[in-house]
Chain A
Amino acid sequence: MRRTLLATTLLLATQAGADTSVLTVYAGDYFTSEWGPGPKIEAGFEEICNCDLQFSTGDLLPRLLLEGERTKADVVIGLTSDVTAKARATGLFAPHGQDNAALTLPIDWGDDTFLPFNYGHTAFIYNETTMDAPPASFDALLEMDDDIKLVIQDPRTSISGLALVLWVEAVYGEKAGEVWTKLAPKILTVTKDWSASYGMFTDGEVDMVLSYTTSPAYHMFAEEDFTKKAAIFPEGHYFMVETVAKIAKTDAPELADAFMAYVLSTGFQQMIPTANWSLPSALPEDQWPDGWAQLPLPEKVLFYSEEEAESRKDQAIETWRTALSQ
């Protein structure tokens, strides 16, 4: 059976090679599962490109760094803003060639290499049936009773955890150490990744979880559960973005360019909210899917540029670690 499978694969591969050109897209691991955005992107792009889009998944940046010039990728999708500095330094990427003016992000985006395709913000999520007085500001969060328990992610191992320490840094600056000391008794624990935190929240082990402003959307639109809410703070929320970029030495430059253009197309953008549970990067609010415009979002958005984030990161993590290790 294995042999048949191999033969079929070879046959299919040859056929694909004969008829159409291939665009290899490296994506984050979650991307290509049938409940991720990958399959929809593949179908959407193959409709217009007369090509074969092939995803290859894994740990994006480590893999690119390990492969270097030998990478097979034509396009890389899913690099977050906290790793773009390292990715840029590889020299593997070419300008994306799209007009940034088409973007509808809450911040100005001047990067001509990494093109955002979705965004969100960090936020603490709570269940309104068990928490009747959620904090109305970051200050209020700090003053909450210590019996209210939070779970957060580790900034050393998780992107959302890193966004949280940068968030605290952006709101409180010098006072970040005091903030963490105040939060420490409320932080029930810290997890390696977002999944474990969110699992603890849905299991009822904690009152609030560090997640995204778009998390309630999943519960609303996929589960018709309207009890999960994001606590919106007037101090602002940290901005998180995922980008797509083109490999300079791609052997399919036209296809790669076509893919970059496809990312900004209305079809792609309208699919993003429910496929990726995040906000579209280039779509006016009135064209968002039904109900999405009503999602409570912060008025103020905080974001460090690549260089600034890179220079503040280590100190911010150390402040966090010291305060929480007491």
Chain B
Amino acid sequence: MAHRAQPVIGRTGTLAGGFVVAVVALSFAGLGLRAEVGRGLGPAEWAAIRFTVVQSAWSAVISVICAIPLARALARRRFWGRGALITLLGAPFILPVIVAVLGLLTVFGRTGWVNEVLGTLGLPGLSIYGLHGVVLAHVFFNLPLATRLLLQGWQSIPAERFRLAAQLDLPPAMIRRTLEYPLLLQVVPGAAALIFVICLTSFAVALTLGGGPRATTIELAIYQAFRFDFDLARASLLSLIQLVLAGSAALIVLWIIPDFPLTAGLDRKLRRWDARGGVHRALDAGIIALGSAFLLLPLMAILLAGLLGLPEMPSVVWQAAGNSLGVAVLSIVVLLAIALPMAGWISTRRAGGAEAIGLIGLSASPLMIGTGWFILINPVADPVPLALPVTALINALMALPFALRVLVPPMRDVLTTYDRLTRSLGLQGWPAWRWLVLPRLRAQIGFAAGLTGALSVGDLGVIALFADPDRATLPLQMYRLMGAYRTEAAAGAALLLLAMALGLFWICDKGARWRAEV
């Protein structure tokens, strides 16, 4: 492509990007108002920074490496329950950490299922605690995301290309080189950067599965500085370091992504003539089975514990579920209002540097953004009634990078492919959205909305800082139950949360793809 696509989208994209920057920057300004000179960073903090980078890098690399065969197998196969399986595989991503940790331990823990099986076979048990445990947990969380992003990439290769490859009788190695590798090069770095950034802010998971203070992350140091020492200067400084790490990772990766424009196909159903053989089938089936077992067994543990706990669950949990649903819907609306214009803006730029803006909401500690805004709001208004809207806004910001990752590549394709047509028709602004972009992106929009809603339901968020008793969200209520010894009831609440998050995701995802091929 010799020229860039025209900005059919208008100025709203820059506005949305500016809004995101403003939300984060103002919160830091708020923190700055109250920060006094603290004790600065000591060796403990530097150790935390090193560990954070190491575990995030491993988690990102391994998640993506595992996701490639899984996504490939899922892209090549059509089987009964495939759609449901793909939705279900996404569940770990939205679980509250404490639920996921207990689920993982039921399977991989010292007395977990895996070790029980190994024990009966007379084999030595394995310990999950250590760096490998941290990585295992992060792969559990992020493999679904990586798989989903890759799968989407695979499905963006027009079916006609594979048809052509089959007609030319290209061997599998050739198909890989001409079709799949360029695609991977396009999707993998972005997915890896995203997972790297998510893992940067990991805290309770890293500590618990890391086996102790060796596994101290930056986010833990932020929490400690804020919650225990009330050293806002140190907390903000650490938060800024987190932001810089995330930003640099994003910039490096987004700059190296090669330009790989795909021409449009006729949206035909995908068929893979190259993978019809028995060996291929068996291999794909094995990979799907293995991936599903890894992701679904801990979910099964959560389901079993939750079913036992459901009758114990007090009725206020339902009220909290209502609050969470409200927050989730609000998050979806906010997210779409920011993400769509931003995606449009980013798609018209050649290099993806602007996408890094989307990452700052995720990489800035939600605790710090919430606190910054509390400081800003407090002099002019009572922050407590704003707890739920602020939570919704921060949840939307956290979901923004995922939404952009999903929306930008297809939007870029649409804009470049239909560039000449839109120019000759003079299609711009809202009509361009209405007739060109939205219909072609509805699957991705639904996915982004569903992901935001699900994340929002599962996230404890900033509400813990200043919640009214009546405004508790479902995760908060679940933590309260756990804190009051009511572990079984909490497991019930966790199951409700899981069901709600998945349900919300399914409705958005399925609704948007209604009458469209997966």
Residues of A whose CB lies within 8 Å of any CB of B are 29-30, 32-36, 38, 55-59, 61-63, 65-67, 70, 72, 86, 149, 154, 156-157, 162, 184, 187-196, 198-200, 202-206, 215, 218-219, 222, 277, 318, 320-321, 324-325
Contacts and interface: CB of A to CB of B under 8 A. Distances in A.
Given A34-B314, A56-B384, A192 B220 contact: yes
A166 B196 CA distance: 36
Contacts of A55: 469
15 contacts: A30-B483, A30-B484, A33-B480, A36-B484, A56-B469, A58-B465, A63-B466, A70-B378, A157-B224, A157-B227, A184-B212, A192-B204, A195-B98, A198-B482, A202-B487
Interface stretch (B104-112, B146-154, B157-165, B258-266): B104-112
A62 B230 contact: yes
Nearest to B320: A33
B197 interface: no
Nearest to B34: A66
A191 B208 CA distance: 5
A66 B374 contact: yes
Interface in B79-123: 98, 101-102, 105-106, 109-112
A59 B102 contact: no
B227 A321 contact: no
Interface string B206-250: 011111111010001001101110100000000000000000000
Interface in B123-168: 129
Given A29-B480, A189-B212, A199 B98 contact: yes
Interface in B260-289: none
Contacts of B487: 198-199, 202
Contacts of B112: 205
A187 B110 CA distance: 12
Given A62-B226, A157-B227, A324 B214 contact: yes
B468 interface: yes
B379 interface: yes
B82 to A, nearest CB: 33
Contact of A189 (B106, B129, B469, B479): B129
B316 A59 contact: no
A195 B105 CA distance: 15
A30 B464 CA distance: 10
B98 A29 contact: no
Contact of A58 (B209, B210, B379, B467): B467
B465 A188 contact: no
Given A200-B105, A222-B485, A325-B214, 11 more contacts: A29-B483, A30-B484, A58-B467, A62-B230, A154-B213, A157-B227, A189-B129, A195-B483, A196-B98, A199-B487, A203-B102
A200 B484 contact: no
Select the residue from A70, A187, A277, A321 with max chain B CB neighbours within 10 A: A321
A222 B226 CA distance: 36
- Interface band, chain B: 35 or more
B391 interface: no
B203 interface: yes
B486 interface: yes
Given A199-B482, A204-B111, A56 B226 contact: no
Interface in B171-219: 203-204, 207-214, 216
A285 to B, nearest CB: 23
B20 interface: no
B220 A157 contact: yes
B386 interface: no
Contacts of B44: 318, 321
Contacts of B451: none
Contacts of B228: 156-157, 162
A195 B213 contact: no
B98 A198 contact: no
Nearest to A54: B469
A198 B477 CA distance: 17
B356 interface: no
B212 A205 contact: no
Contacts of A324: 212-214
B23 interface: no
Contacts of A187: 212
A66 to B, nearest CB: 6
A321 B208 contact: no
B230 A188 contact: no
Nearest to B210: A189
Given A195-B483, A222-B485, A277-B485, A190 B207 contact: yes
B476 interface: yes
Contacts of B211: 188-190
A59 B466 CA distance: 7
A218 B224 CA distance: 30
Nearest to B106: A203
B481 interface: yes
A190 B208 contact: yes
A24 to B, nearest CB: 11
B465 A149 contact: no
Contact of B484 (A33, A57, A58, A86): A33
B223 to A, nearest CB: 6
B105 to A, nearest CB: 5
A34 B487 CA distance: 15
Nearest to B384: A56
Nearest to B463: A58
Given A188-B129, A321-B213, A38 B464 contact: no
B296 interface: no
B98 A30 contact: no
A149 B110 contact: yes
B315 to A, nearest CB: 9
Nearest to A206: B110
Contacts of B106: 203
B485 to A, nearest CB: 5
B136 to A, nearest CB: 14
Contacts of A35: 314, 480-481, 484, 486
A325 B465 contact: no
A206 B112 CA distance: 11
Contacts of A195: 98, 479, 482-483
A154 B48 CA distance: 14
B140 to A, nearest CB: 16
Contacts of B102: 196, 199-200, 203
A171 B129 CA distance: 29
B230 A86 contact: yes
B374 A191 contact: no
B375 interface: yes
Closest 4 CB pairs of A and B: A195-B482, A32-B469, A58-B466, A192-B204
Nearest to B483: A30
Contacts of B480: 29-30, 33, 35-36
B452 interface: no
Contact of A191 (B109, B207, B375): B207
A218 B483 CA distance: 12
Contacts of A199: 98, 102, 482, 487, 490
Nearest to B314: A34
